[in-house]
Amino acid sequence: MPAGPSRGFPTDPSSVVSAPRGEIGAEPGIIAGMTDVPDIARLRQIGWREPSLPDDSRRLARVVAQHRAGYELDDGVGTFNAQPAGQFLKRGLDPSVRPAVGDFVFLDHASHPVIEAVLPRRTVLSRAAAGERYERQVIATNIDYVMVLMGLDGDFNPTRIERYLALIEGSGARAVVLLSKADMADDIPGAIAAVRDRVAVETAVHAINTKDPSTVSLLAEYLGPGSSAVLVGSSGAGKSTLTNTLLGEERMATKAVRSHDSRGRHTTTHRALLKLPTGGCLIDTPGMRELKLTGEENLDLFADIEALAAQCRFADCGHSNEPGCAIQAALESGELSSQRWRSFLKLHDEREEQAATLEARIKRKAASKPPVKSHKKFRGRDEY
C-alpha cells in the first residue's frame, strides 16, 4: 500500500498543472474585492498539510464541490464559485487532470475567479469511466482517510467491505472500517472478527454507535488538523448521523431506515467540505457515498491468491479439477479458506463483467459517427 497521510504534500512547481495566466476570464482591470490571503491556520482547516504556504502570489483554495456550471471552492475564509481556465476545457483533455473535489488550486484575483492551476495531488480516489477511451474518473483527491461505514444490522456484509477496500487500495488514502449501530448488535466481537478476517492487518476496525458523542474522541486520531476524510457506505449506514455527531450539531438531514432491508432513503442532497471541531475536515460528496465497483479495481487484496495461482502446473489453469492446481491444493490443506476463495471469484467475475460492458460500450461508440459538439461550453462531470 502506498504511503498514507504521513506523506508530504508535493509542491514541486514543475509538476503543477498550470494554465497560461489570463487565458480566459482574467478580465484585466477588474481587481477583486477580496479578503486577505488566508493564513496557514485557516488553510489547515481545509486540509492543507504543508508547513508553509506555497511561494506563489495567487490565491489558494480547495475545491469542495463540482456543479454543471462550475466549481465551488473554500479558501478557509468562506466558499465561493469559480470557473476553470480554458486550459481545462480543451476537448480530448484527460479528464483526470481537470480540477476535482479535494484539489488545492491556484486562482487569479478576478472578481469572478478562474482556476488557473491544480496543485499536485497527494492521494487520488478514482474509478473507471466509460468514454471514447478507457479513462479514470476522479472521485476525490487529497483524502487521507476513507471511513467505510457499515451497520451491524441487516446491512452487515463483510464481503462488501472487502470490495470497498479494493476500491480504496492504491488511492494513497487509508481505509478505516466503522461498524455502526453497535448499540443494536448482539455479537460485536464476532462481527469484528468476521471483518478482520477479510482486511489487511493494518486496517483499523471499530464498532461504534454513531449517535454517541464518545465516538468523536475515538475517531479524533484520524480527524486532526490538516486531515481530510470521507465517509462511504450504503444508504442508512449512518453517515449523516456520524457527521452530525462529529460536527456536534444537526447539519445533515437523516431519515429513519426502511425496516424490511435496513436501507435508508437517500436523504443527502448536498456535497461540501465540513470543518470539524477536531481540526480536520470531512468531504461529503454524494458520489463518494456509495462507491461502485467499476471493473478496474486492482486485486492487490488477493495477492496471496494470485501468488498461489502462479504455482499451478498449467498457466491457463481453471482451478477446478486440473492436475497440479495449487489453488485446489491450498483449499484442501486449509491454507486458503473456501470463503476467501469465493470472495475472490465473486470480485473477479464482477470485474470481468464490468470490463466487458465497458468495452462493448466503447466499441458501440466507435462504430457510430461522433456528433458535432461544441467544446466551448464547460461541461462538468455528471452529478450523481
By CB under 6 A, tell whether 254 contacts ligand GTP.
yes
The residue type at 295:
G
Among 147, 257, 272, 330, binds ligand GTP (CB under 6 A): 257
Say if CB 121 and CB 141 are below 8 A apart: yes
The residue type at 66:
Q
- Residue 240's binding partner among Zn ion, ligand GTP, none (Cβ under 5 to 8 angstroms by kind) is ligand GTP
Q: Which is nearer to ligand GTP, 118 or 257 (CB)?
A: 257
Q: Which is nearer to ligand GTP, 141 or 180 (CB)?
A: 180
- Residue 375's binding partner among ligand GTP, Zn ion, none (Cβ under 5 to 8 angstroms by kind) is none
Q: Which is nearer to ligand GTP, 163 or 239 (CB)?
A: 239
Instruction: Give the sign of the dihedral formed by CA 110, CA 111, CA 114, CA 116.
Output: positive
Q: Which is nearer to ligand GTP, 126 or 268 (CB)?
A: 268
DSSP 113-153: -EEEEEPPPS-EEEEEE-SSS-EEEEEEES-SEEEEEEESS
The answer on whether 90 is annotated among ligand-binding residues is no
By CB under 6 A, tell whether 237 contacts ligand GTP.
yes
Name, in order, each residue with C-beta under 8 angstroms of 59's C-beta and a sequence gap of 6 or more: 34, 37, 75, 106, 107, 108, 109, 113
Residue 353 grid cell: 463483467
- Residue 319's binding partner among ligand GTP, Zn ion, none (Cβ under 5 to 8 angstroms by kind) is Zn ion
The residue type at 211:
K
Among candidates 359, 372, 346, 370, which has minimal Cα distance to 128? 359
User: How crowded is residue 114: how many other Cβ atoms within 10 Å of its Cβ?
Assistant: 26
**Residues from 180 through 199 that contact ligand GTP (CB under 6 A):** 180-181, 183-184
Among 57, 92, 186, 256, binds ligand GTP (CB under 6 A): 256
Say if CB 292 and CB 234 are below 8 A apart: no
Positions touching Zn ion (CB under 5 A) are 312, 317, 319, 325, 327
User: How crowded is residue 23: how many other Cβ atoms within 10 Å of its Cβ?
Assistant: 13
Which span (100-108, 124-132, 133-141, 178-186) binds ligand GTP, by CB under 6 A? 178-186
SS3 324: coil
State how far the alpha carbon of 263 is from the alpha carbons of 79, 126, 173, 278, 341, in Å: 33, 25, 27, 29, 28
- Residue 62's binding partner among ligand GTP, Zn ion, none (Cβ under 5 to 8 angstroms by kind) is none
The answer on whether 181 is annotated among ligand-binding residues is yes
The answer on whether 281 is annotated among ligand-binding residues is no
By CB under 6 A, tell whether 126 contacts ligand GTP.
no
Place of cell 487509508: 174
The answer on whether 155 is annotated among ligand-binding residues is no
Among 87, 142, 210, 343, binds ligand GTP (CB under 6 A): 210
Residues that bind ligand GTP (CB under 6 A): 180-181, 183-184, 209-211, 233, 235-241, 254-257, 264-268, 289
Residues annotated in a binding site for Zn(2+): 312, 317, 319, 325
Residues annotated in a binding site for GTP: 180-183, 233-241
